[in-house]
């Protein structure tokens, strides 16, 4: 009985050492589910070897970064290094790599904010307690990873993916890349404010702020998607016009040849008659 009481005490009180121990397998789980998410959404063709190498490399980096990189610069380093690793292992363009990094980050931060608010409302914990008490930290992390995996299963089952990047012009790709950068800055600032005032803000205000950010992001993506579809339609019309023009030229050439051929046949016929 004392053993269970000791375990429960260790799990229900702030314990940085225990969190560090559990963070190692959680880092590997996070790398797996986030990789599955962006590979399925972006419809990235990757071999099993590429996926395993990426998960192992990004997990080892995340473990070492928490130990070696100063906290003052770790946020900026963690934005650049995963981007480079995604481009290196999956051979993606910078736009797809940014999108592969941004989408899972948005989902994780969103779910973490919601679950932290739920813990605050139902279990009367503070933001600090939710991140320092092992039972809350581990439960929130596992719940987030489970939801991300369910999203991956849903996307894979219904074959939902983003294919607009393949047909997008360079100007639209630049606009989209700038949009992603602004989204990252805006979301980081917004969630920092939400986390700072998490104990003061009502849950409805927090939820409204999150929904507004998500709506802005998807409306921007949809607008670019419609613009891209319009460009594709215009290109198809131009190709059809060129094709019709080529057919007209070919038709005129055939008519001219027919006319010349008829004259030649008539001339040969008169010669043979004579």
In a domain, 247, yes or no: no
Total structural domains within the chain: 1
pLDDT tens digits, one per residue of 20-70? 888 999 999 999 999 999 998 888 888 999 999 999 999 999 999 888 877
| Arithmetic mean of pLDDT, 104-125 | 78
Assess if residue 260 is contained within a domain. no
- 266, part of any domain: no
Task: Judge whether 265 lies within some domain.
Answer: no
Owning domain of residue 99:
2-235
| Position 267 in a domain | no
pTM for this entry: 0.69
Q: Are residues 40 and 156 in contact, defined by beta-carbon separation less than 8 angstroms?
A: yes
Mean pLDDT lowest among 27-36, 92-101, 235-244, 255-264: 255-264
* Angle ∠(206,208,213) on CA atoms, nearest 5: 100
Contacts of 90 (CB under 8 A, 6+ apart): 39, 44, 46, 50, 54, 97, 100
Q: Is residue 246 part of a domain?
A: no
CA gap 54, 90 in Å, rounded: 9
Q: How far, in Å, CA of 203 to CA of 201, rounded?
A: 6
Residue 17 lies in a domain: yes
Residue 89 lies in a domain: yes
């Amino acid at each position: 009985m004392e053993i269970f009481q000791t375990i429960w005490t260790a799990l229900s009180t702030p314990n940085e050492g225990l969190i560090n121990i559990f963070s190692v397998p959680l880092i590997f789980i996070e790398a797996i589910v986030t990789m599955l998410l962006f590979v399925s959404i972006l419809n990235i063709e990757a071999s099993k070897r590429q996926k395993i190498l990426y998960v192992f490399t990004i997990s080892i980096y995340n473990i070492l970064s928490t130990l070696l990189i100063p906290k003052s610069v770790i946020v900026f380093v963690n934005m650049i290094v995963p981007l480079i690793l995604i481009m290196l292992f999956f051979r993606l363009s910078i736009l797809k790599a940014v999108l592969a990094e941004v989408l899972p980050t948005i989902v994780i931060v969103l779910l973490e904010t919601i679950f932290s608010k739920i813990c605050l409302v139902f279990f009367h914990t503070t933001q600090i307690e939710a991140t320092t008490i092992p039972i809350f930290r581990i439960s929130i992390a596992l719940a987030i990873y489970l939801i991300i995996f369910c999203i991956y299963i849903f996307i894979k089952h219904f074959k939902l993916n983003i294919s607009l990047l393949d047909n997008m012009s360079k100007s639209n790709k630049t606009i989209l890349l700038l949009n992603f950068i602004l989204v990252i800055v805006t979301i980081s600032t917004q969630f920092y404010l939400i986390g700072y005032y998490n104990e003061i803000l009502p849950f409805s205000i927090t939820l409204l702020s999150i929904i507004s950010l998500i709506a802005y992001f998807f409306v921007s993506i949809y607008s670019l998607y419609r613009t891209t579809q319009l460009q594709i339609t215009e290109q198809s019309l131009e190709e059809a016009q060129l094709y019709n023009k080529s057919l007209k030229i070919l038709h005129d050439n055939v008519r001219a040849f027919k006319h010349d051929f008829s004259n030649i046949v008539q001339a040969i016929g008169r010669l043979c008659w004579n």
